[in-house]
Amino acid sequence: MSMKRREWIKSAALIGGSLSMSSALRGMPTAAPLGTALPSDSSHGYVNLSINENQWGPSPKAREAMVKAVSYAYEYPAVPHRKLREEIAVHEGVDPSQVLIGAGSSDLLKASSYVYGLQGGSLVAAEPTFNDLLRWAEPNGTEVIRIPWNDEFSPDLNKISSSLRSDTRLVYVCNPENPAGTLCDTSELKDFCMETAKSCPVFVDEAYIDFAGEADKLTMMGLVREGLPIIVSRTFSKAHGLGGMRVGYAVTTPEIAEKLKLAYVHGVVCGASHVSIEGARVAYADRQWLTHVRTETAKVRADFEGFLDNIGQPFIPSYTTFVLMPVNTDSKVIADTLFNMTKVRISPRLIHGQNYLRISLGSPAQMRKLKSGLELVLAAT
Ligand SMILES: Cc1ncc(COP(=O)(O)O)c(C=O)c1O
């Protein structure tokens, strides 16, 4: 191929690439200017109230930090990674060696199920619950013992305790629980963790803790500080509105942290990017935005629960950013009908033979759209 022809092909490819890129960008919704609150519809052209995204988005300060960090995207993320670990360690009163960062807390769930499943054995958790840790455990050869919720739609801590076996390597508790939205009594959960920790570590997933009240009063982080074998995970995806940036963390004892690093060595977790971590660092410090998101979410939650009361629709009172409600007909049909009518996506569930809908809380405008459609669909089914 002559030099000229090769150059032509290269520049045509570049032009083609930039053309298709700019036409793709033309189809995208315009980003809200920095410094303003988001809420808008998703970038996919429908309202997604099925996967618990935070519709208020990241703090304007975090967005600004991410834009700045893009210029340094050529740098590996080691320095921001270390700084975030130090900042979390200061806030939680632990040593930085006790903080692990992942690309979302899913990374830490995956790492834990991998490391604790290396020798087989069993893992105990509520049924249903958030599935990430469990779904990685089973293909690894770990037996998952699933204990149905108690009558209050919460993890049945007594039954979980009595189901522990000599080969149980890890217990997983999601608090607040997903998909129920319930919160364990703090002192009961503390007693449970202290007792269980005598035989195996407990993984406490606190993804939604900021929406349940004062996180510092509800968290199990204190037990980590006391040196108990507890792993507490948190995420920047929920209260901090950074689901797409993939940053989460776990705080645990130095011994367990060391053990979980095996998963990094074995390449099971991949770590968060430079830009993501710079956004997370600023989001972590921005308590004002966190308060704003928590307050607005609580308002939307109270309004939605009031609406459900008014239309006579039972639901499980929520401590989170979603509400679970039993329905009498096929929940998938309800969700699909609602989507076709309104372009609002919600999550159908089948739990112990009962149909449920799990609906994430969105902005007031999104909830108006949801409520008018849901009322019609529920009345017709
Ligand atoms: C209870 C719970 N834990 C963890 C996660 C994982 O979140 P991420 O990987 O975005 O941190 C989710 C996501 O929906 C969740 O609901």
What string of H, E and C letters represents the secondary structure of 94-125? CCHHHEEEECCHHHHHHHHHHHHCCCCCEEEE
The pLDDT score that the predictor gives to residue 90 is 98
- pLDDT confidence of 299, banded at 50, 70, 90? very high
Q: Which of 49, 53, 132 to mutate to test the pocket of ligand 1 (most atoms within 8 A of CB)?
A: 132
The domain boundary residue, chosen from 234, 261, 285: 285
Which comes out higher in pLDDT, residue 140 or 110?
A: 110
Residue nearest atom 2 in ligand 1 by C-alpha distance: 207
Res. 352: pLDDT tops 80: yes
User: Would you tell me how many other CB atoms lie within 10 Å of the CB of residue 285?
Assistant: 16
Res. 117: pLDDT tops 90: no
Residues 72 and 147 in one domain: yes
Res. 25: pLDDT tops 60: no
Q: Among candidates 23, 72, 29, 68, which has minimal Cα distance to 47? A: 29
Residues 268 and 296 in one domain: no
Residue 104 alpha carbon to ligand 1 centre in Å: 7
Residue whose token pair is 């150059």: 7
Res. 42: pLDDT tops 90: no
In a domain, 11, yes or no: no
In a domain, 49, yes or no: no
Phi, psi angles (nearest 5°) of residue 188 = -65, -40
The pLDDT score that the predictor gives to residue 118 is 79
Residues 305 and 191 in one domain: no
In a domain, 254, yes or no: yes
Residues 124 and 94 in one domain: yes
Mean pLDDT to the nearest integer, 4-23: 37
154: helix, coil or strand?
coil
71: helix, coil or strand?
coil
Residue 23 alpha carbon to ligand 1 centre in Å: 33
Q: Give the tens place of pLDDT for each residue, 77-93.
A: 999 999 999 999 999 99
User: Is the Cβ–Cβ distance between 234 and 248 less than 8 Å?
Assistant: yes
What's the chain's average pLDDT?
89
In a domain, 7, yes or no: no
Residue 176 alpha carbon to ligand 1 centre in Å: 11
Residues 272 and 324 in one domain: no
Res. 258: pLDDT tops 70: yes
Residues 242 and 203 in one domain: yes
- Domain harbouring 302, CATH code: 3.90.1150.10
Res. 23: pLDDT tops 90: no
Residue nearest atom 12 in ligand 1 by C-alpha distance: 207
In a domain, 54, yes or no: no
Tokens (6 digits) for 69: 């960090």
Residues 247 and 321 in one domain: no
Exposed, middle or buried, 163 (CB in 10 Å: 0-12/13-18/19+)? middle
Residues 244 and 163 in one domain: yes
pTM above 0.85, yes or no: yes
In a domain, 98, yes or no: yes
User: Buried b vs exposed e over 250-269: b needs ≥16 C-beta within 10 Å?
Assistant: bbbbeebbebbeebeeeebb
Q: Among candidates 198, 29, 170, which has minimal Cα distance to 109? A: 170
In a domain, 29, yes or no: no
Q: Count the domains in the chain.
A: 2
The pLDDT score that the predictor gives to residue 36 is 47
Residues 85 and 128 in one domain: yes
- Domain harbouring 177, CATH code: 3.40.640.10
Residues 325 and 254 in one domain: no
The domain boundary residue, chosen from 285, 319, 348: 285
Q: Beta strand 168-174 with 202-205: parallel, antiparallel or unpaired?
A: parallel
Q: Which of 177, 205, 211, 360 to mutate to test the pocket of ligand 1 (most atoms within 8 A of CB)?
A: 205
Q: Which of 53, 105, 184, 231 to mutate to test the pocket of ligand 1 (most atoms within 8 A of CB)?
A: 105
- pLDDT confidence of 14, banded at 50, 70, 90? very low
Residue 105 alpha carbon to ligand 1 centre in Å: 6
| Domain hosting residue 243, numbered range | 60-285
Residues 353 and 273 in one domain: no
In ligand 1, which atom is closest to the CA atom of 109?
4
The domain boundary residue, chosen from 285, 318, 338: 285
Residue 162 alpha carbon to ligand 1 centre in Å: 27
In a domain, 10, yes or no: no
Residues 340 and 362 in one domain: yes
